[in-house]
Structure 1
Amino acid sequence: MAIDRDWHFVLGAQDPEMREIQRVVDSEGLYWAHAARHKRRCIPRTAYDADGVVRVGSDQIPRPAVLPPRAPAVFVECTVLGLEPVVRVDHHHPGDAGYEVEPERFMEGASLGQVLRLLEREPNETQRLLAASDHCLTAAYQGRCPGVDPHELLFLRASWKAKVLGRTLSDVVEGILDAAQRVRAHHDGELGESRFLDPTEIPMDLAEGAAYAGIPVRYRELLADGVLKEMFKGGTPQAVERFMAEHEAAGRPVYGNPYRGYAGTYWGGRREPEVAGRVVESG
């Protein structure tokens, strides 16, 4: 599909990939805004329930923006209620262009790759790292993404976490390597995964360490509102489907993507399904 200079890009929740998508769209001189709910930029859990748009500057202050009702919109990992886009860029839900794309074709699956293709631009090295990181992190760390160096990926991921969390780069790298070691030590060959089900004993960089180790991990976190969230990452499509089926049968809300190796659920209280796989996770 050829790019239309009148397209309005609506961008979902912030993460390194979305930040780069915004930079690319801006460099093309195209309109962009952030999906918003109640005049605040959406987070992963609300990105598909947006009711308007804002523009958030470097000061992180959301400012009112307008998306004309008949403007040709491109929704990137979001939905604005009441509006229908001309293009959806996504890989989180069945039917999305990138939903079933395997790691070996990660640029076709990742949202950044889809945007670059729309704009007829070739990815640079950093963009390839960002795309692989967001689309299939565990596979990327295990060398399944052509042209992606796992060591460069670790540096990029650790740098972002250090910046966002206010930690030193060396502290983050050590945390990831320590978590990887603990995941290996907890691996249950019969279950085919490592389990950390006590929220009080979760290594700080568990999800990243498990991806780096290439071992499926199941773990739980206690959210601020008292809801217990359980996540499964790095599994085969069959393992993810079993996890999702198990919790669906118990009546719990479930989200996930078997093709990208992750799923999650909430114990107690109804929560809206959310997108997973962000660099800095609560998960």
Structure 2
Amino acid sequence: MIDHDCTFVLGAQDPEMREIERVLDDAGLPRVHAALSGRRCTPQTAYQADSVVDVRADNVHRPALLLPKAPAVFVECALQDREAVVRVDHHHPGDPGYEVPPEHYLQGSSLGQVLTLLEREPTDTQRLLAASDHCLTAAYQGLCPGVDPGDLLFLRASWRAKISGRTLTDVIEGILEAAQRARRHYDSEFGESRFLDPFDVPPDLPEGAAYAGVPVRYRALLPDAVLKEMYKGGSPAAVEAFMAEHREAGRSVYGNPYRGYAGAYWSAL
């Protein structure tokens, strides 16, 4: 059980982090958000935070204070010159959930780790959120106990519809079509589907490939003209090979072989 004097410092926003916020608020525990230069951190800056802010439903970034000796729990973030009493994470070697396999997704996911700290049992929806964040492809293939793939598809599609403005029907059809394309593009020589033209990547490809259970390699051109290549749904050995390939080429690489994903960045084109 976590000490109620602890303040939770939260990283970048996503569906899992949104639920963690709700759980902390329900428990009456203080929470703030990791920030860089006064703005809430993104996934790219969550481990470079230099301050904290308080962001509520109105999305206003309000300055917040974390007292120097106050105990803090860091959730998927890091704060310069500050040590956490507990780290909740699964992204990097040494994190509590880094090597946790799909069948133990609650221990692996950040949401599951927070629920354990609060001595709370997960709801059915929280199981879906935890499994989808920790090991999406495995969850869609029925490898996460207590997680129904059909319920997972509905939850994920509903979220995508909400944030994109698309209809739920359109999103589900897009995911199923992307799953079919991932299967058709499967290259047995490489053991993956390949979409190397960033202008010919279906918008629902990552979700569709996970639903199909097909490892996929694809590229995206970021707004700053940086080319990003991603790999998802592969075995630990395949993910490690992807990461090694790009490291040898001198590129910036991230990933977790145990969770089946990795990515690499080219310099600006």
- Scaled to the shorter chain, the TM-score interval is over 0.9
TM-score (norm 1): 0.94
Aligned partner letter, 1:202: V
Q: How far 1:3 sits from its partner (Å)? A: 1.5
* Structure 2: distance between partners of 1:58 and 1:3: 26
Q: How far 1:265 sits from its partner (Å)? A: 0.2
TM-score (norm 2): 0.99
- Report Cα offsets for 1:201-256 as digits up to 9, x if no partner: 01010100000000000000000000100000000000000000001011111000
Partner of 2:31: 32
Counterparts of 1:68-79 in structure 2 under 5 Å? 68-79=67-78
- Report Cα offsets for 1:74-109 as digits up to 9, x if no partner: 000000111101000000000000000000000000
Q: Count residues in correspondence.
A: 269
Which stretch shifts more, 198-207 or 56-65?
A: 56-65
Partner of 2:177: 178
* Structure 2: distance between partners of 1:186 and 1:94: 32
Partner of 2:152: 153
* Structure 1: distance between partners of 2:87 and 2:145: 26
* Structure 1: distance between partners of 2:81 and 2:156: 36
Counterparts of 1:106-125 in structure 2 under 5 Å? 106-125=105-124
Segments of 5+ residues of structure 1 without an aligned counterpart are: 270-283
Partner of 1:97: 96
Q: How far 1:189 sits from its partner (Å)? A: 1.2
Aligned partner letter, 1:152: D
Give me the identity figure in percent: 72
Partner of 2:125: 126
Aligned partner letter, 1:262: Y
Secondary structure of residue in 2 paired with 1:225: coil
Secondary structure of residue in 2 paired with 1:117: helix
Partner of 1:65: 64
Secondary structure of residue in 2 paired with 1:268: strand
Secondary structure of residue in 2 paired with 1:58: coil
RMSD: 1.0
Q: How far 1:64 sits from its partner (Å)? A: 1.0
Aligned partner letter, 1:48: Y
Q: How far 1:57 sits from its partner (Å)? A: 1.3
Aligned partner letter, 2:99: E
* Structure 2: distance between partners of 1:28 and 1:162: 29
* Structure 2: distance between partners of 1:4 and 1:94: 26
* Structure 1: distance between partners of 2:118 and 2:79: 22
* Structure 1: distance between partners of 2:26 and 2:267: 45
Q: How far 1:267 sits from its partner (Å)? A: 1.3
* Structure 2: distance between partners of 1:68 and 1:167: 43
Aligned partner letter, 2:19: E
* Structure 1: distance between partners of 2:166 and 2:65: 37
